[in-house]
Amino acid sequence: MTTAPRPFTLSDFDFSLPPDLIAQHPAPERSASRLLDGRAAAPADRIFRDLPQLLQPGDLLVFNDTRVVKARLFGEKASGGKLELLIERVLTGNEVVAHMKVSKKPLPGSTVRLAGSFDATLLGRWPDADGPLFRFALHGPAGETPWELMERHGHLPLPPYIERQQNAAHDPDEAEDSQRYQTVFARAPGAVAAPTAALHFDEGVLAALAARGMDAACVTLHVGAGTFQPVKTENLAEHRMHSEWYEVPHATLAALERCRQRGGRVVAVGTTTVRTLESWARSGQATGETDIFITPGFPFQVVDVLVTNFHLPKSTLMMLVSAFAGYGHVMQLYRHAIAQRYRFFSYGDAMLLERSATK
C-alpha cells in the first residue's frame, strides 16, 4: 500500500540566508546581473545577458508591463501625530485604498494633512468593515487626480528589506531607485512593487532575443504590497492570499495561440506573469482580480519556462517556484546560490527554470 506524501507546510520553505546577500543596490548594468541556469540537474552559473542563447527560436517571452507609482505619502493627523500612507490602488474619482502606518488610527471622517499641502479624508476600511486596508478621499489643489498627486508629492515604495532612510524626502539613493526600480518597458501605472525579474532586461538583451527569433508580449498585473505579506499559518490552506488586478490583452492572447501553433514555449518573466497567465487559464477571464495561491501540486496550464529572482524564505513566491520546478530541485538551487554568493531579492540576481513534470 502506497502512503500519500504529507502536505507541505510553511516550515518546508524556510532557509537560512546571510543578511549580506540581500542586495541593497542594483548591479551597475541591468544585464550584468548573474543568472543561475537551473534547468538541468546540475546548476550552471552564467550572466544575465547570456539569456538569449539559453532560449529557443519560436519561444514567446511574456513580460509584466506594470509601472511602479510613487505611492508612499507622508503626513500628520490634526493632533500632530505622524503617519504614512501606501496607496495600494486608485478607485473612482478621488478615492484611493491605502495601507496606513500610524501610532493611533484616526476615526472615519477624520482629515489628515499630507506633505505637499493637500488633505485626505478617511472614509472607512476596505474592502469591507473588517478589511485590512483603508479608503481615503484625496483633496488636491485644482482638482488634481490621485495619480497626479502621487507623482508630484509621493515617494517610491521600496521593499522593506532594502534599507533606505526612513524620511524618503532626504534619501540620497532616490535618483538611482527611481530609474532602476522600474523596468525599461514599464507602461501601465498602478504597482507598488516592481516585477523584479524584468529589471534585468535592457535594450541589448531585448534586441538579442528578437534577433534569435523569439517573440515578446505583455500582460499587466499591478503588484500590491501584499506580495511582501508574510505567511503566518503553518497550514498553507489557512493562508488568505491578497488580491491583485490583472489584464491579458487581446494581442497577447493571439501571441500565445501562435506560439502554441508553432510548437514554441511560453517563457514567463517573473512570478507576477505566471500568476496572470495561470489566472486567465483557470478562469477564462482576460481581466479581473486574482488571489491565486500557487503551491506544489498546482496544475500549470500555460507557462513552460520561468525567469525569476531569488525570493524570501517562507514566502508565497518560494512556494510558487517550488510548484513550478519541483520542491527538492528549487531548494538545491537555493543552497547553490547561497554557497556561490548570489545576490537575493528585488535588486538581486536571477534564475532560469523549466516546468517540472513531477512536483
Side-chain half-sphere of 112: how many Cα atoms within 13 Å? 28
CA 242 – CA 222 distance, rounded (Å):
12
Residue 84 has a pLDDT of: 94
Residue 5 has a pLDDT of: 66
- Last residue in a domain, options 89, 122, 154: 154
Query: What CATH number has the domain bearing residue 126?
Result: 2.40.10
Residue 359 has a pLDDT of: 44
Q: Average pLDDT of each block of 10 consecutive residues along the chain (359 residues)?
A: 72 97 97 97 97 98 97 93 94 94 93 92 92 93 90 92 67 83 96 97 98 98 88 94 95 98 97 98 97 96 98 97 97 98 98 84
Is the residue at 168 inside a domain?
Answer: no
Nearest CA to 241 out of 254, 255, 253, 230 is that of: 230
Residue 2 has a pLDDT of: 52
For cell 536571477, the residue is: 350
Is the residue at 359 inside a domain?
Answer: no
Q: Are residues 82 and 214 located together in one domain of the fold?
A: no
Residue 20 has a pLDDT of: 97
Q: Are residues 61 and 97 located together in one domain of the fold?
A: no
Q: Are residues 184 and 210 located together in one domain of the fold?
A: yes
Is the residue at 165 inside a domain?
Answer: no
Q: Are residues 277 and 314 located together in one domain of the fold?
A: yes
Q: Are residues 41 and 83 located together in one domain of the fold?
A: no
- Last residue in a domain, options 154, 186, 204: 154
Q: Are residues 186 and 303 located together in one domain of the fold?
A: yes
Q: Are residues 50 and 76 located together in one domain of the fold?
A: no
Query: What CATH number has the domain bearing residue 264?
Result: 3.40.1780.10
pTM of the model: 0.93
Is the residue at 264 inside a domain?
Answer: yes
Q: Give the residues across from 188 on adjacent strands.
A: 66
CB 234 within 8 A of CB 79: no
Q: Are residues 61 and 76 located together in one domain of the fold?
A: no
CA 249 – CA 162 distance, rounded (Å):
33
CB-count exposure of residue 143 (10 Å: 0-12, 13-18, 19+): exposed
Is the residue at 171 inside a domain?
Answer: no
**Which residues span the domain enclosing 104?**
72-154
CA 208 – CA 214 distance, rounded (Å):
9
CB 182 within 8 A of CB 196: no
- Per-residue exposure over 174-195, b if at least 16 CB sit within 10 Å of its own CB, e if not: beebeebbbbeebeebbbbbbb
Q: Are residues 20 and 125 located together in one domain of the fold?
A: no
pLDDT tens-digit series, residues 73-113: 999 998 999 999 999 999 989 999 999 999 999 999 999 99
Q: Are residues 232 and 258 located together in one domain of the fold?
A: yes
- Last residue in a domain, options 88, 120, 154: 154
Is the residue at 224 inside a domain?
Answer: yes
Q: Are residues 182 and 315 located together in one domain of the fold?
A: yes
How many residues comprise the chain?
359
Is the residue at 5 inside a domain?
Answer: no
Is the residue at 39 inside a domain?
Answer: yes
Structurally, the chain folds into a number of domains equal to 2
Phi and psi dihedrals of 306, rounded to 5? -135, 130
Q: Are residues 286 and 137 located together in one domain of the fold?
A: no
Nearest CA to 280 out of 267, 271, 289 is that of: 289
Beta-strand relationship, 287-290 and 244-247: antiparallel
**How do the residues of the chain divide into helix, strand and coil, expressed in percent and rounded to 5?**
30, 25, 45
